[in-house]
Amino acid sequence: MKRIVIILLLFIMGLSLFQVDINGNDNIKLIAEEYQLELYKARVLEIKDTLIFEDESGKVTTVQIAKIEIMNKEYKGMISEIRNTLIGDPNYDIELRKGTNISVRATKDNENNISFYIMNYERTNSINSLVTIFVIFVLLIAGWKGFKALLALVITIILILYILIPFLLKGYNPILLSVIICALSTLITFIITTGFNKKSIAAIIGTIGGLIVGGVIAYLYGSITKITGLSSADATALLYLPNNVDFDFRGLLFAGIIIGALGACMDVAISISSSLTEIQKENPSISLNKLLRSGLNIGKDIMGTMINTLVLAYTGGALPILLIFTGFQKTYSEIINLDSIVTEIVRAIAGSIGLLFTIPFTILAFGVLSKIKKNNERCNNEMV
């Protein structure tokens, strides 16, 4: 088992070292250099002035003039003055106060005078501290198993960042890529966390089987309902990427559904497989039929809460949309025919169906593996 884990780790490390060129050329690099999109961390030292303007329509615009200090890179310690415009839209406004941490962009004019423009709040330190707290709690509570879980998580992130996304940006099939990445993530996660044994093999088979069924349902009903995959602003923004990739937006949506359901399917599969392993360990003489019936009962108990969790997660993502259309008193027919609503419905139900099929796939895989092991033991005893 250790050899398998080492080989898998070396494989992932190799893929990350020989990362795919996401553009096939230097388009993005050249654009970044052209517009000098270099970001710096900065802290607001003081708000020197606040100007308020009102146009003929009564719209109010506020301009903050702030003194900032650059906190990193070649301009560290440099004091500069910036103008920050507030238009009254919380989605875009970045309100400055003394001590606010921000990220700024540096630009130079023809005379090499440096100016800074505010881009966003600087959240790096906060996120880093949150991740650190998470890692500490995992290690304190779960110990060595927690460390293995974190290792599996890191490898999954590497798979996404260094394989999935670069290949998607090259225009490869998103559904096929997502299935491959999910299969690799499932295989590596279970081998690292539970070892290469009957329990993990059954969970791997159950997870991959459930994901494939969920993906097929998503593809089928995505085609029937003619969803575009462009219901979100983030998806639409892909149209403006400078690398001239003709994205399959519906394929990206289906890939997102498969990846989104991965965690829940893995959770269900390992819960059932672990439970059956413990039952068999405590009662080695239990018949295969009774064992499988026990697994089905366990799966039914898990199913209710996990489907509820999955549907609620997707509903939470669509909550603002639901509030908007409910607030405008739209009818059921108007709401149900909207691309954004249909997308979330297909996402939730396809993921839930995949979750459902994970249960019998895991139980059947465990049963087959148990029978094979029992037959092998019987053959060995007869040979002795």
Find the CATH number of the domain harbouring 158. 1.20.1640
On whether both 187 and 296 belong to a single domain, the answer is: yes
On whether both 56 and 200 belong to a single domain, the answer is: no
For residue 231, the model assigns a pLDDT of 67
Question: Distance between CA 364 and CA 371 in Å, rounded?
Answer: 10
On whether both 48 and 150 belong to a single domain, the answer is: no
On whether both 58 and 199 belong to a single domain, the answer is: no
Q: Does residue 251 lie in a domain region? A: yes
On whether both 192 and 329 belong to a single domain, the answer is: yes
On whether both 115 and 228 belong to a single domain, the answer is: no
Domain count, the chain: 2
Among the candidates 69, 97, 122, a domain finishes at 122
Q: Which domain holds residue 88?
A: 36-122
Distances (CA, A) of 259 to 68, 110, 255: 42, 48, 6
On whether both 211 and 86 belong to a single domain, the answer is: no
Three-state SS for 176-244 is: HHHHHHHHHHHHHHHHHHHCCCHHHHHHHHHHHHHHHHHHHHHHHHHHHCCCCCCCCHHHHHHHHCCCC
Q: Does residue 360 lie in a domain region? A: yes
On whether both 116 and 152 belong to a single domain, the answer is: no
For residue 12, the model assigns a pLDDT of 53
Spatial contact of 232 and 249, defined as CB atoms under 8 Å apart: no
Among the candidates 122, 157, 177, a domain finishes at 122
Q: Does residue 101 lie in a domain region? A: yes
Q: Does residue 12 lie in a domain region? A: no
Q: What tokens appear for 359 in the block?
A: 């249960």
Give the mean pLDDT per block of 10 residues along the chain (384 residues). 52 50 44 57 89 81 89 87 85 86 84 83 89 94 89 88 85 84 88 87 92 88 80 66 71 83 88 90 85 88 77 70 71 75 82 89 91 72 58
Note the pTM of the prediction, 2 decimals.
0.73
Q: Does residue 202 lie in a domain region? A: yes
On whether both 205 and 284 belong to a single domain, the answer is: yes
For residue 141, the model assigns a pLDDT of 92
Place of tokens 């990846």: 259
Question: Distance between CA 162 and CA 17 in Å, rounded?
Answer: 9
Among the candidates 122, 152, 180, a domain finishes at 122
Find the CATH number of the domain harbouring 68. 2.40.50
Q: Does residue 24 lie in a domain region? A: no
Distances (CA, A) of 292 to 194, 197, 269, 270, 297: 21, 18, 14, 15, 9
Place of tokens 């690099």: 29
Distance of CA 332 to the CA centre of its chain: 31
3-state secondary structure of 384: coil
Q: Does residue 17 lie in a domain region? A: no
On whether both 329 and 258 belong to a single domain, the answer is: yes
On whether both 161 and 107 belong to a single domain, the answer is: no
Q: Does residue 15 lie in a domain region? A: no
On whether both 232 and 377 belong to a single domain, the answer is: yes
For residue 318, the model assigns a pLDDT of 67
